[in-house]
Homo-oligomer: A and B are copies of this chain.
Amino acid sequence: GYAGLERSRLGLDGAPEWPRLQAMLPPVEGLRVADLGCGYGWFCRWARQAGAARVLGLDLSRRMLDAARARTEGEGITYVEGDLAALALPEARFDLVFSSLAFHYVADFGRLLAAIRQGLAPGGRLVFSIEHPLLMAPRAPGWRREADGRLTWPVDAYLEEGPRETHWFVPGVVKHHRSLATTLNSLVGAGFALARLEEFGPSAEQVASRPEWAKERERPLFLLVSAAAL
A residues within 8 Å of B by Cβ? 134, 138-140, 144, 146, 148, 150-160, 179-181, 184-185, 188, 193-199, 201, 217-220
CB distance from A229 to the nearest CB of B (A): 14
A193 and chain B: residue at smallest CB distance: B193
A218 touches B153 (CB 8 A): no
Given A180-B180, A181-B199, A199-B181: A157 and B194 interface contact (C-beta under 8 Å): no
Given A139-B150, A140-B148, A195-B188: A155 and B179 interface contact (C-beta under 8 Å): no
| Residues of B close to A195: CB separation below 8 A | 188
A137 and chain B: residue at smallest CB distance: B219
A184 touches B156 (CB 8 A): no
| Residues of B close to A220: CB separation below 8 A | 158-159, 179, 181
Distance, CA A138 to CA B188, complexed state (A): 30
B196 touches A185 (CB 8 A): yes
Distance, CA A153 to CA B87, complexed state (A): 37
A158 touches B218 (CB 8 A): yes
| Residues of B close to A156: CB separation below 8 A | 150-153, 218-219
Given A180-B197, A185-B197, A194-B194: A154 and B152 interface contact (C-beta under 8 Å): yes
A203 and chain B: residue at smallest CB distance: B159
B188 touches A157 (CB 8 A): no
Q: List 23 A-B contacts (CB under 8 A).
A: A134-B134, A140-B148, A140-B150, A152-B155, A152-B156, A153-B154, A153-B155, A156-B218, A157-B218, A158-B218, A158-B219, A158-B220, A159-B219, A179-B199, A179-B220, A180-B180, A180-B197, A181-B220, A185-B196, A188-B194, A188-B195, A188-B196, A193-B194
CB distance from A179 to the nearest CB of B (A): 5
Distance, CA A156 to CA B139, complexed state (A): 18
Identify which of B150, B160, B184, B198 contacts A194 (C-beta below 8 A): B184
A151 and chain B: residue at smallest CB distance: B156
CB distance from A142 to the nearest CB of B (A): 11
Distance, CA A121 to CA B185, complexed state (A): 24
